[in-house]
Structure 1
């Protein structure tokens, strides 16, 4: 099994429970790792035989653009959509970090890390 990673995808979005967060927005960093069998792509050198990281980035940006109160909700939507659109992906790890969160202290970021694994049909 091989993996593809997208590191520190920078996105401005409007997630959070506070009304101010919805209006003002904040900076986010998303890290993504997907596992898949990439052996065919290694042989063919064809984009159709791998996981297109442009599509992964598009999924992250699209899901981050849809407002949620919780980072957990955004993370799960990213995982679900990757499994829906990319059948070759067997495992997804995603972390969503809010940079400079409004929590009344000097905190660089808060983040949620989530993991999903494709269920194997029985």
Structure 2
């Protein structure tokens, strides 16, 4: 059995970007997360200690989003490292970090970086 915990469309105002103005002014970001977690025990026990707290996952992502970076790739990499360090129960992570209205010419709603990584792959 494979099981996931998902936090979809977490919204943040953060200061990521290559340009100085992006880091000063900030922008809106959306983060979606799916972690593959063995929750088999919690299905039987009804105990938070046998799974992963959604609130903890949110807090970890929020803390990383607060730290300005030039690249979304760097933000996503930090989030994945932090989540794997948080719990051995996390087997893999799918993560999408999206910047709304990226500051370049053209009619573009958003720009995203998507990472999917198994614990045993590393990077």
TM-score w.r.t. the length of structure 2 is 0.95
Which residue in the other structure is 1:11 paired with? Answer: 12
Q: Distance in 2 between matches of 1:114 and 1:13?
A: 19
Q: Distance in 1 between matches of 2:54 and 2:92?
A: 15
Residue 122 (structure 2) pairs with residue 117 (structure 1): no
Residue 27 (structure 2) pairs with residue 40 (structure 1): no
Secondary structure of the equivalent of 1:67?
coil
RMSD over aligned CA atoms reads 1.0
Secondary structure of the equivalent of 2:49?
helix
Say how many residue pairs are matched: 120
Alpha-carbon deviations, 1:21-60, whole Å to 9, x = none? 0111000000000001111000000011001110110011
Which residue in the other structure is 1:84 paired with? Answer: 85
Which residue in the other structure is 1:75 paired with? Answer: 76
Q: Distance in 1 between matches of 2:52 and 2:29?
A: 24
Provide structure 1 residue ranges, at least 5 long, that are not aligned to the other structure. Answer: none
Provide structure 2 residue ranges, at least 5 long, that are not aligned to the other structure. Answer: none
Secondary structure of the equivalent of 2:108?
coil
TM-score w.r.t. the length of structure 1 is 0.96
Residue 56 (structure 2) pairs with residue 55 (structure 1): yes
Spell out structure 1 runs of 4+ moving beyond 2 A.
none
Secondary structure of the equivalent of 2:36?
strand
Q: Distance in 2 between matches of 1:49 and 1:62?
A: 24
